[in-house]
Amino acid sequence: MDSDTLKAILRLFNYGLFIASCSADEGPRAATVSWVSQVSFEPKQIAVALRKGTSICEGVQKCGRFGLHVVGENQPELARAFFKVSQVGPADIAGFRYWISPTGVPILGAAIAWMECEVVEQAGHSGDHVLFIATVIGGDIQVPGIRALALHDTVWHYGG
């Protein structure tokens, strides 16, 4: 199997764009992720793969809870703002305002929707990402009627 073919095929998979967030001692952390899928109806659960050794991955491992924000199709700049380690201000991360949910998760006001997730399992240890299985314990649609940004509709890719 040649690696260019494999890369091309893995890039045929579609994903949304999401901002994962968590709290750490020094303040909130947030990063753009795309390897996300729902994995259970009841209880409502999702799987998220976060690259090992990144601050978001270590933060989620430490606090066991995270926020997952859906980027709207009109918001590519929101996704782009969290590709790299973000500057945190007194009330913003990378220039986007946030609030802290009652369970301690930073929630970005700009995202079209968010979910608050509690980690129930970690898997995928043979790979280069940690696979978090998490129950969705809360969430809200902040901007109704907007479709989610799909990786296929952007110039970016992550698979391969």
Partner 1 sequence: MTLEAPIDVRAEALRLMSNGVYVLTAAVADSAHAATITWASQVSFQPTLVLVALRRNSHLAQAVRKAHRFALNIMAEDQQEIVSRYFEHSTGPLEGERGLESPFRLTLGKCPLLTDALGWLECKLVAEPTSPGDHALMLGEVTGAGIRRESRPMVLRDTPWSYGGIRG
Q: How far is the CB of 2 from partner 1 (least distance, A)?
A: 9
Q: Closer CB to partner 1, residue 24 or residue 146? A: 146
Q: Closer CB to partner 1, residue 82 or residue 116? A: 116
Q: Closer CB to partner 1, residue 4 or residue 25? A: 4
Interface contacts to partner 1, rule CB under 8 A:
1, 5-6, 8-10, 12-16, 35-47, 49, 70, 101-103, 112-116, 120-121, 123-124, 126-129, 131, 133, 136-141, 147-148, 150, 152, 158-160
Q: How far is the CB of 23 from partner 1 (least distance, A)?
A: 14
CA distances from 15 to 4, 88, 113, 142, 150 (A): 20, 27, 16, 21, 6
**Residue from 16, 15, 19 nearest 111 by CA:** 19
**What is the rounded distance in angstroms from the CA atom of residue 17 to the CA atom of residue 52?**
19
**What is the rounded distance in angstroms from the CA atom of residue 88 to the CA atom of residue 60?**
17
| DSSP annotation of 11 | T
* Residue that the structure tokens 């509709």 belong to: 153
Q: How far is the CB of 87 from partner 1 (least distance, A)?
A: 26
Q: How far is the CB of 45 from partner 1 (least distance, A)?
A: 5
**What is the rounded distance in angstroms from the CA atom of residue 78 to the CA atom of residue 75?**
5
Q: Closer CB to partner 1, residue 92 or residue 159? A: 159
